Amino acid sequence: MPPDETPEILLIRQTRPDVAGRLSERFRLHRLEEAPDRDAFLGAAGPRIRGLAVGAMCPIDARLFDRLPRLEIVASFGVGYDSIDVAEAHRRGIVVTNTPDVLSDEVADLALGLLLATIRRIPQADRYLRAGRWREGSFPLTTSLRERRVGILGLGRIGRAIARRLEGFGVAIAYHGRTPQADVAYTYHDSLLGLAKAVDVLIVASPGGPGTRGLVDAAVLAALGPEGIVVNIARGSVIDEAALIAALQAGTIHGAGLDVFENEPQVPQALIDLDQVVLLPHVGSGSHQTRAAMGRVLTDNLFSWFDGKGPVTPVPETPWTGR
């Protein structure tokens, strides 16, 4: 391929060296963050850009598409793509890809860790020992996972991986999504409120975005009851964070384990001040192995696309119909 036909790819918030290294074997790369004047850069190079390689939760919208008239594909790092205007991408014939499946087990492991950490107060017990307080007396007894009924909001790839792990813990499992799933034995609830009334642990594993914003509201939290535990490994936007803080402060629910927040990386001081919550800085997929696998899926999509074979993992909103 003559040099002037080498596809040009723009990296936005995509800092992994392995991703850039592999892409540079085949493409001409630009990094938006390295441009001294981004507006001038987009004016000069934007019309040549045919692909984007973007980091997790990177906002991509019509204003950016306007600057990239030859854009064909947005390859996003991560399975969630609520920060990308996929409807607008579809309207313009731009394919969006994500990195599903390769992270499901890692995130499910983290969800179970967060659940146990919250119920058995594992970080608090660690802090208790480090503070030298064991010598003063035993750590206070905690609540238990025994006899609990666990509800999963969103029984997708990650939700199912969580459910499979929960089977080993001997708890009752139920779920809510927009449609019941024929191939599972877990109890289906056609409303989130109905699920919340039937369980005392709610694990949030649905996508973020407008369709799920604030789904876990004050009524859902109240329905979980005073022994209720909420675990969120999905997106902060799915839970009404103010309602969650109020429920925790009032003792309407027992505790929460949160990997994601409404306005990351800002975490409300009111949450930090609460003793009965476990807070993680969005680390669900954050192992070396899984992040490397996600990088390979991202680069596979761009290679496959520019080889004329279509995307490997297009999101449902921008299906590949061949061209």
Residues designated catalytic: 235, 264, 282
Q: Residues near 193 by Cβ (< 8 Å), separated by ≥ 6?
A: 219, 220, 223
Rounded to a whole number of angstroms, the minimum distance from the CB of residue 95 to ligand NAP is 17
Residue 295, token pair as written in the block: 């990088």
Beta-carbon neighbour count of residue 131 at 10 Å? Answer: 9
Nearer to ligand NAP, 9 or 166 (CB): 166
**Count of residues that bind ligand NAP according to CB under 6 A:** 29
- Binding of ligand NAP by 291 (CB under 6 A): no
Residues present in the chain in total: 323
- Binding of ligand NAP by 314 (CB under 6 A): no
Number of helical H runs and strand E runs in the chain: 12, 12
Q: State which of residues 113, 177, 295, 311 lies at the interface with ligand NAP (CB under 6 A).
A: 177
Question: Which residue has its beta carbon closest to ligand NAP?
Answer: 156
Nearer to ligand NAP, 32 or 232 (CB): 232
H-assigned helices in the chain? 17-24, 38-45, 62-67, 86-91, 104-120, 122-130, 157-167, 192-198, 218-224, 241-250, 269-272, 288-306
- Binding of ligand NAP by 258 (CB under 6 A): no
Residue 256, token pair as written in the block: 């929460």
Q: State which of residues 234, 245, 248, 253 lies at the interface with ligand NAP (CB under 6 A).
A: 234
- Binding of ligand NAP by 212 (CB under 6 A): yes
- Binding of ligand NAP by 100 (CB under 6 A): yes
Q: State which of residues 259, 291, 299, 305 lies at the interface with ligand NAP (CB under 6 A).
A: 259
- Binding of ligand NAP by 284 (CB under 6 A): yes
- Binding of ligand NAP by 155 (CB under 6 A): yes
- Binding of ligand NAP by 233 (CB under 6 A): yes
Beta-carbon neighbour count of residue 6 at 10 Å? Answer: 13
- Binding of ligand NAP by 52 (CB under 6 A): no
3-state secondary structure of 15: coil
Residue 259, token pair as written in the block: 């990997």
